[in-house]
Every structure is written in C-alpha cells, then in structure tokens.
Structure 1
Amino acid sequence: MHAPLEQSPALNQIRSIRHGFFGRRGGVSEGEFAALNASISVGDDSGNVAENIHRAVMALKAGPLPVAMAKQVHGTDVLTIRAGHDFKARPEADALVTDQPGIALGILTADCVPILLADPESGIIGAAHAGWRGAVGNILAATVNAMAELGAGVEDIVVAIGPSISAPAYEVGDTFAQMIREQFPHTSDFLATKGYEKPHFDVPGLVRHQAEDLGLATFEQVGGCTYHSPELYFSHRHATHSGTRAGRQISLIAKS
C-alpha cells in the first residue's frame, strides 16, 4: 500500500525528480500516532516508523531508495549528502542537499514549514525544515547557497513548501512579537495583529517572501494548514491543545 501524498506541479515537471509531501494517512502506527508517523523520537514503535517511511518512499515510485535524514534542531545548518553517506547517522542539521542520484532526502514536520528544492538543469536537490527560528534565520537561503556550492544555478531552482501551520492558527503573543521586532526586525512585517486579540506569525509567508528575494525560478505552496486539518496532518500545536502527542509527517525528494 502506498501512502497518499501531495505534490508540486512545478517539481513534477522535472522528469529526473521524485517528491512528495506526506500527511498522516496511509501508515501502520496507531493511537495518537495514527497512521503515517515518521519520527522515532515521539514515542512510537520503531518498527512502525520504519514501515511508514518505507511506504512513503515507495509512493515516490522510484524504488526502495535509502533516505538521508538529520536530527532537526531548529537551526540553519545544512548537511551535504555525498557518496558513501551513513544513512543510519542523524547529524544535527535542518536542511540537506545532494547531487547524488538514488538518494531521498527526508524532512520531518508537524506545523513547521517543509521545503523541497530542485535545480532541473543540474539535478541538485535540497530539503529544509523551517520553524520560526529557521525562517527568521533564512534557512532557505542557506539551503540555496549549499546547492549553489554543488553547482546549482540559483535562478534555475524550483522550490515548493508543503503543509504547515497558517498565520490564523499561529498565535504567538505579545512577548514573542516584541522579541521578533527587537531581534529580527527584517521579519516583523510577518507579524499579524489586525483582527486578532494577540499577534500571530506568518511563517509560510516569510518563507515565500524569502524565495522571491532570492530570485528563484519558481515558488509553489502545496497543501493546507496542519492545525486546521488534524485528520490529514500531524500538528504539534493541535495535539498540545487537545492534550495528546503529535507524530511527524515526512516530506521527501529524490533524484532518480
């Protein structure tokens, strides 16, 4: 059984690239983690997680590819996956890039913004995880720079972001808003206050703005709000408000 996935039309046009933004459907995990949880760090059975990741990989229809992943720490470090990579290792990083075929790059999220990137000319690919810390630190630019170091043309890169928490669901409060204004003033335009009792933060909007500033070839947004669609996606904030635990959905990109 293949897990359902959402895809970017622009990335789908690149014949050498396979990708997918997965939600919570189509896996074997049960209870709070039903069904396609891809994280071993939330309390799920490791065998279930392995099967869920396998189902997601096979849904790409590129064969049983090895998946490179990282220990995500809400930073802006980028890991370059080279030949001979140890796929059991999870170095601390929040983005991965590679020019190697036959490898899938995987990012886990549960409200944060998953970003998938590809250069159709060179075949270089990238995947990034952007929570608010990664977004204000511009992990997108760091990922694009790492792809450029491998030979990608910035103006050729296609980028898509997947399901994440929307601004209407992401209330951050006055203290957070003041911190953003003081420490990251260049991102303060993405604090929304009109119509809200407390400030909200538009992380996907910030990532979209950064993509425009970088001059990338194409930017697309795929899927819905993780908080407002708990039947489709894992949402850390929704689970917290419900007194439960959230699994993590996986986003994958591979060069065949």
Structure 2
Amino acid sequence: MTVEVIRADALADVPHGFLGRRGGVSTGIHAGLNVGLGSDDDRDAIHENRRRAVEAVKPGARLATVHQVHSAIAVVADAFPDDTRPHADALVTDRPDMLLGVLAADCVPVLFADIEAGVVGAAHSGWKGAIGGVSLATIEAMETLGADRSRIAAAVGPCIGRASYEVDDGFLARFVAQDPENERFFLAGRSGHHQFDIEAYVVARLAAAGVRRIEALGLDTYPAEDRFFSYRRATHRGEPGYGRQISLIGLPTS
C-alpha cells in the first residue's frame, strides 16, 4: 500500500501533506505508517516509516521534528538529532532543504505558509496548546523570518471531530474562563458532558490572529481506523499503545 498524502488547496503552491497510517511497515497496534519515536513500536520500523513519509512529500529533504509536550512553544527548525529534539510543539523555517513535521493521534495538526516570504511552519495543537496559543506562537516565529501574517495560508488537518470528543463540565469551564464566547464550540451531550469542536476552535484562533486564508479538512481521526491513528480510540479499547501520524510541510526547491 502506498503512502496516502492528503493535501489542502490553501497550500497548493508548497510541498506538504497530512499523512495517516496507510503505507507504512509497522505491525500490530501500530500497523501502518507509525512515525512516533515515543511509541513502543520497533525502532527500525519507525525510521523506515519516517523515510517513506519524507519521500512521499519532498524527496531528499531533511526532516525536522520536535519533542512535543502540549505547549505553546515554537522554534526555528534545524535537523535536530532524535535524542536532543527541543521540547516544543511548533517549528518554522525559511530553508528549502528542510521538511517540518508534527505528529498527532487526535490532536490538531496545522500547516502554515507565506510563499511570498519563503517561510513555512507546522504546529501540533492539542487542547492545551490550542488554548495556550500555539498557533499565534507559530505565526510570530514565522514573522521573525520575514513572514507577514496577512499573507499566511493555513490548513488544519485530520483531528478528532466534535462527535467523537466528549469532555466534562470542568473542561468547558476552562475554555469559557478564557473567553465566554468559547462556549459556542461545545455542544451539550449527556449529563455533565459536552462535545468539543476543537477543529473549529483552532480555526477561530487562527482567524483572530490575522490569518486570512484558512482551510479545515474536516476529517475525524477517531472513527476512521483504517486511515488514522487515534489516542482516544486506543484508550477506549484498553490498548497498551498507539501510533502517531505525521503532517509535513517544506518550501519549493527552486
């Protein structure tokens, strides 16, 4: 099976892709294109999957990823060694030889590009990073390399959908305390619970930050077992681990 590369029209001019689990060599609960260095999967399989991911999006590029910690920290990318990756949740670059990657398994991957400035970015936005402002941190880091937020296009990739994302009253209260208007991202569910639309929340934060072109793919990772890894699905099943998919973006090579 070949690597599935899901692309966004908003980023049509740059090499990019939201990858799922199709096309990899991992087996068992990690079956497919698991790229998670923090998983219990076979190390050789993980590295082969990473190689395949790069070749599917920008052959020959140098992959940069970070040690994701659900933060709002963005860094300028380098070819970080696996064991010394900085603790952060977003990367930016103006180097055509680099390919930025963020991992997710229900959290929201966001890819950014200011093609005129020659600057791209990638962010991993779980709920903590989303409410903490990881999207804004990515935009600001891109601006240090010459980007202009009014020119940035952003694409929001596969993530857990509202129908699959049940949260409790305390979770809702955290977001409403930040901004009472955030209540619009929650739909009432069973007693004491709500369904959270994290994709719509991330899109709203991007718009509030000044991004004018935003595309949300609307793909729910939880129910699509053959296509995406899902932390919540694995947890509900009592599985001992789960795979991670990768979203990638780089600059065109002139």
TM-score normalized by structure 2? 0.93
Shift, 1:176, TM fit: 2.0
Q: Which residue of 2 aligns with 1:247?
A: 243
Task: For 1:1-256, list aligned pairs within 5 A.
Answer: 2-12=2-12, 14=13, 17-60=14-57, 62-81=58-77, 85-88=79-82, 89-182=84-177, 184-185=178-179, 188-197=182-191, 198-222=193-217, 224-244=219-239, 245-255=241-251, 256=253
Where does the alignment leave 5 or more consecutive residues of structure 2 unmatched?
none
Provide, for residues 123-158 of structure 1, a one-character-per-residue CA deviation record: whole Å limited to 9, x for no partner: 100000000011111211110011011100111101
- 1:199 is paired with a residue whose SS is strand
Identity fraction in percent: 41
Report the Cα distance in structure 1 between the residues aligned to 2:18 and 2:130, rounded to whole angstroms.
Answer: 19
Deviations 1:11-38 (A, max 9, x none): 11x1xx2101000110000000001000
Structure 1 residue runs of 5 or longer lacking an equivalent are none
Q: Deviations over 1:24-69 (max 9, x none)?
A: 1100000000010001211001110010011111111x32211111
- Superposed CA deviations along residues 67-113 of structure 1, whole A, max 9, x for unmatched, are 1110000010111125xx44443110000001111100010000000
The CA distance in 1 between the partners of 2:64 and 2:55, in whole Å, is 15
Q: Which amino acid aligns with 2:182?
A: S
Q: CA deviation at 1:188?
A: 3.0
Task: Give yes or no for contact 2:221–2:229 (8 Å, CA) kept in 1.
Answer: yes
Root-mean-square deviation (CA), in Å? 1.6
Any conservation in 2 of the 1:190–1:203 contact (CA below 8 Å)? no
| In structure 1, distance between residues paired with 2:80 and 2:174 | 39
Query: Using the alignment, how far apart are the partners of 2:52 and 2:181 within structure 1?
Result: 38
TM-score by length of 1: 0.92
> Contact 2:185–2:200 at 8 Å: present in 1 too?
no
CA distance in 1, matches of 2:65, 2:140: 19
Aligned length: 249
Asked if the contact 1:177/1:191 (under 8 Å) is kept, the reply is: no
